[in-house]
Copies of this chain bind each other. A is one copy, B any other.
Amino acid sequence: MSEALRTDLYQLTMMQAYWRSRHNPEATFDYFVRKIPAGSYLLTAGLDYVLDYIENLRFEDDDIQYLRTQDFNEEFLGFLRDFRFTGDILAMPEGSIAFPLEPIIRVTAPIMEAQLVETFILNKMNFSTLIATKAARVVYAARGRAIAEFGLRRAQGDAHLEATRATYIGGCASTSNVLAGKVFGIPVSGTMAHSFVTSFEHEIDAFRAYADTFPSKCFLLIDTYNTIEGAKKAAVVGKELEKRGEKLQGVRLDSGDLSELSKQVRMILDDAGLAYVKIVASGDLNEWKIDELMKKGAKIDMFGVGTELVTGRPTPALDGIYKLSDVLERGRHAPKMKLSEEIVKATLPGKKLVWRTIQEERFIKDIIALDDEKIDNAVPLLEQVVKKGKPVHDSPSLAQIRQTAAANLSKLSDEYKKLDGAPVYSVEFSPGLVALRERLVEKIRREEIGSKI
């Protein structure tokens, strides 16, 4: 199925209006985020989907046929039939650290093209970046304990593959999602559910059946009836495995006071000589609950996290937007911005780049500057990924993206990673940008509002 119609109807109606008005100047749009749901930074993800889309963007016959039923102009439909994206795209690579207002993707193309791709870019970047960022927070809270993602059952339907990919970029160690394992090569993990236990006449029958089947990688779920009694039975099975020269790998707690229960279970296992058996905890966990468990000294070696990781709960959407910043008309750049009664909804005009000052492997501050400004002692964050419609970017593997993310996160000081109350990272506007914005606000007030605000 072609992805060309994965867009808002208004992109197509605007395109027809541009087309009819012969108004198709080169335009530049920025994808950026105004407000970060939680914490101080974003871990970017989703670019790979965008590049794939851009390269393959075509209107197929059945797309055109559908649009015909929606009363589009027949000549305009002919234009769509030959449509290709021909513009340039700059972007932060996946796994970058970004901050509010910074262009993460910058698209320059005839406005009909740049407009059409807005919806897809927002749909993919908003979600993958939301989840990668959430995952980085959860991983940080676990202080080195592995995070196993198992959100498939609560993921928003078909979003599950992208969600799992993003959690892996953010540092999760594995997923329960077998399809994601197959498609992306992400390590898969998982053992048993409560139904497995209850389906047998007795809990210990279920434990033995599982241990017999997977003697070398057996994790037992011990809270089906009562966690402490379950731990005792797991210890029995653990000793039985030892007699066969195998080792019980772990037990999982999925309900109750995880801190308290983990300590009691640890004692039961240790007393049975099973100090090597790991304790996995799960049950509606998130970064705050994991942080709390770690502070309480819970004896947990690994966390399973589902719903929160794959949906971004409590904030299931990133408010990333895609805004026109420049139009090239008759050879002259006309910088553009949106004013708003709500100042936070105003946008930054002009073709821009983002620069970062890095000292001793630490991110110090960023500067948003106009295209023609050179910022000293800073590195540019946007790379050219599409030139004249063709990808010019070596797509890194998912493992490489994950490493890039880890490397970038290691350069972000811990203070910015605090779950709550992290300071605002310094993002400055260059002198050129500040001057341009002031000039443009004046012009809009004069010409469009009659100086009324």
Chain A residues with a Cβ under 8 A of chain B:
3, 5-14, 16-18, 20-21, 23, 25, 27, 29, 49, 62-63, 66-67, 70, 111, 115, 118-119, 122-124, 126-128, 150, 152-163, 176-179, 181-182, 188-196, 198-203, 209-210, 212-214, 223-229, 255-256, 307, 311-319, 322-324, 327, 329, 334, 336-342, 345, 444, 447-450, 452-453
Contacts and interface: CB of A to CB of B under 8 A. Distances in A.
Contact of A202 (B179, B196, B202, B448): B448
Contacts of A214: 13, 16-17
B313 A317 contact: yes
Contacts of A210: 13-14, 17
A71 B322 CA distance: 46
A9 B188 contact: yes
B195 A29 contact: yes
A162 B152 CA distance: 15
A10 B192 contact: yes
B13 A156 contact: no
Contacts of A314: 314
Given A23-B200, A196-B17, A444-B225, A124 B157 contact: yes
A198 to B, nearest CB: 4
Given A182-B63, A316-B313, A191 B13 contact: yes
Nearest to A127: B157
A126 B329 CA distance: 50
Contacts of A337: 198
A415 to B, nearest CB: 28
A319 B151 CA distance: 11
Contact of A12 (B20, B156, B178): B178
A198 B338 contact: yes
Query: What are the 6 A-B residue pairs with the smallest beta carbon separation, nearest first?
Result: A10-B190, A9-B190, A316-B316, A122-B153, A156-B159, A159-B159
Contacts of A336: 195, 198-199
A115 B153 CA distance: 13
B341 A195 contact: no
A202 to B, nearest CB: 7
B340 A229 contact: no
A374 to B, nearest CB: 28
8 contacts: A8-B152, A10-B190, A13-B192, A23-B200, A156-B316, A159-B159, A199-B324, A229-B450
Give the one of A6, A156, A313, A337 with max B CB within 10 A.
A156
A341 B255 contact: yes
A407 B33 CA distance: 41
A264 to B, nearest CB: 12
Q: Name the residue among A70, A199, A228 with the largest chain B CB count within 10 angstroms.
A: A199
Kindly name the residue among A21, A225, A336, A449 whose own CB sees the greatest number of chain B CB atoms within 10 A.
A225
Nearest to A76: B213
A307 B157 CA distance: 16
A333 to B, nearest CB: 13
A444 B194 CA distance: 14
Nearest to A204: B448
Contacts of A200: 23
A128 B157 contact: yes
Given A198-B324, A313-B317, A341-B256, A192 B155 contact: no
Contact of A21 (B70, B150, B191, B209): B209
A20 B155 contact: no
A108 B63 CA distance: 41
Contacts of A452: 226, 228-229
A408 to B, nearest CB: 22
A199 B327 contact: yes
A332 to B, nearest CB: 12
A31 to B, nearest CB: 11
Given A14-B193, A199-B324, A255-B341, A225 B449 contact: yes
Contacts of A63: 182
Contacts of A255: 340-342, 345
